[in-house]
């Protein structure tokens, strides 16, 4: 079943068209990977799914993006609720310059949770779900910028989970991290798909094939090919896909 359906979508930054006629189904409780060479529109599409592109001046979108069958670009969509439901993790870990606790509690507080006990529970649960509770449980008041990059990224994942999203968007979440942190996050992501629908941009072909269930291959603003990851990696339908996967360009 599709959690998100993208239908014939075009996107412009000013006069520059960054996405051309993109259509894609993103299945529920599975991991969809976006792959493709630099500048082909992966970040652009993933940012459209929680309307972070609204923050980009001159960005214009045509076509439909449906979340649970509802068009998220309809004028009566509450963008703040949408972003609560569709969380996002960025390439560079970006915890706020405040304590670990306040980082995680920020989202729930934003959406109206005031009760201290309830916040405590959310913080613990989110940190556990992001597989970092054991590492930071004694340092919740420590500044989140003082821990390692890999830990910061998991704090950011926990922060995203704390508002109970349904979808988690991750734009190259491991590209700034060392191999061990990367492995931890990959493992975490595979666990998270039980509860969440995950979309992940990656430049790492092994990562895409290890982690994802579905893959979409982007090129120059078009989705060239998309489908089951295993099939696509063993038997790509398009020549361009094959060239990219096998590392002949990109």
Ligand X SMILES: Nc1ncnc2c1ncn2[C@@H]1O[C@H](COP(=O)(O)OP(=O)(O)OP(=O)(O)O)[C@@H](O)[C@H]1O
Q: Which residues are CB-neighbours of 146 under 8 A, at least 6 positions away?
A: none
- Residue with the shortest CB distance to ligand X: 43
Q: What is the DSSP letter of 55?
A: G
Structure token digits, residue 107:
């989202």
Q: Taking CB under 8 A as the rule, which mask of x and - marks residues 140-179 in contact with other proteins?
A: ---x-x----------x--xx--x----------------
Nearest to 47 by CA among 239, 201, 245, 216: 201
Kindly state the smallest distance separating residue 42's Cβ from Mg ion, in Å.
Answer: 5
Please count the CA atoms within 13 angstroms of the CA of 91 that sit on its side-chain side. Answer: 11
Closest residue to bound Mg ion by CB: 43
**111 binds, options Mg ion, ligand X, other proteins, none, Cβ within 5 to 8 A by partner type:** other proteins
Find residue 169's DSSP bridge partners.
88, 199
Q: Whole-number minimum distance, CB 199 to other proteins, in Å?
A: 14
Residues interacting with ligand X, by CB under 6 A?
A: 13, 16, 18, 36, 38-44, 56
CB of residue 92 to ligand X, shortest distance in Å = 12
CB-CB neighbours of 94 under 10 Å = 14
Closest separation in Å from C-beta 42 to ligand X: 4
> In this structure, are strands 2-13 and 222-228 parallel, antiparallel, or unpaired?
unpaired
> Which entry of Mg ion, ligand X, other proteins, none binds 173, CB below 5 to 8 A by partner kind?
none
Structure tokens at 104: 């995680």
The total of other beta-carbon atoms located within 10 Å of residue 7's CB is: 14
- Kindly calculate the radius of gyration of the chain based on its CA atoms and give it in whole angstroms: 18
- Sketch the per residue contact string, 50 through 89, with other proteins: x for CB under 8 A, - otherwise: x-x--x-----------------------xxxxxx--xx-
Q: Judged by CB, which is closer to ligand X: 44, or 197?
A: 44
Q: Report the site for other proteins in 3-42 (rule: CB under 8 A).
A: none
Q: Which is nearer to ligand X, 13 or 133 (CB)?
A: 13
Contacts of residue 203, defined as CB under 8 A and 6 or more positions apart, other chains included, come to 35, 38, 172, 175
Where are the alpha helices (H) located in 130-247, listed in sequence order? Answer: 133-136, 149-161, 179-192, 205-211, 229-234, 239-245
CB of 32 to ligand X, least distance (A): 15
Q: Which two tokens stand for residue 40?
A: 């082909």
**Please, what is the minimum distance in Å from the beta carbon of residue 20 to ligand X?**
11
Report the residue number, 14 or 149, with the smaller CB distance to ligand X. 14
| Residues within the interface to other proteins (CB under 8 A) | 50, 52, 55, 79-84, 87-88, 90, 92, 94-98, 106-107, 110-111, 143, 145, 156, 159-160, 163
């Amino acid at each position: 079943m599709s959690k998100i359906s993208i239908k014939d979508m075009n996107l412009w930054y000013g006069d520059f068209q960054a996405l051309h006629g993109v259509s894609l189904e993103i299945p529920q409780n599975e991991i969809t990977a976006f792959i493709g060479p630099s500048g082909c529109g992966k970040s652009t599409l993933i940012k459209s799914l929680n309307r972070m592109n609204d923050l980009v001046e001159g960005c214009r979108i045509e076509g439909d993006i449906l979340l649970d069958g509802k068009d998220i670009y309809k004028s009566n969509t509450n963008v703040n609720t949408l972003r609560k439901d569709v969380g996002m993790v960025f390439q560079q870990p970006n915890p706020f310059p405040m304590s670990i606790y306040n980082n995680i509690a920020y989202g729930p507080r934003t959406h109206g949770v005031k009760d201290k006990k309830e916040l405590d529970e959310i913080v613990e649960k989110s940190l556990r779900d992001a597989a970092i509770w054991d590492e930071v449980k004694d340092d919740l008041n420590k500044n989140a910028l003082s821990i390692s990059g890999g830990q910061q990224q998991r704090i950011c994942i926990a922060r995203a989970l704390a508002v109970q999203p349904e979808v988690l968007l991750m734009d190259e979440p491991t590209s700034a991290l060392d191999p061990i942190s990367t492995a931890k996050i990959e493992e975490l992501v595979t666990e998270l798909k039980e509860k969440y629908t995950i979309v992940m941009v990656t430049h790492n072909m092994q990562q895409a094939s290890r982690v994802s269930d579905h893959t979409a291959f982007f090129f120059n603003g078009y989705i060239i090919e998309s489908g089951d990851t295993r099939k696509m990696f063993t038997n790509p339908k398009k020549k361009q896909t094959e060239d990219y996967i096998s590392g002949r360009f990109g």
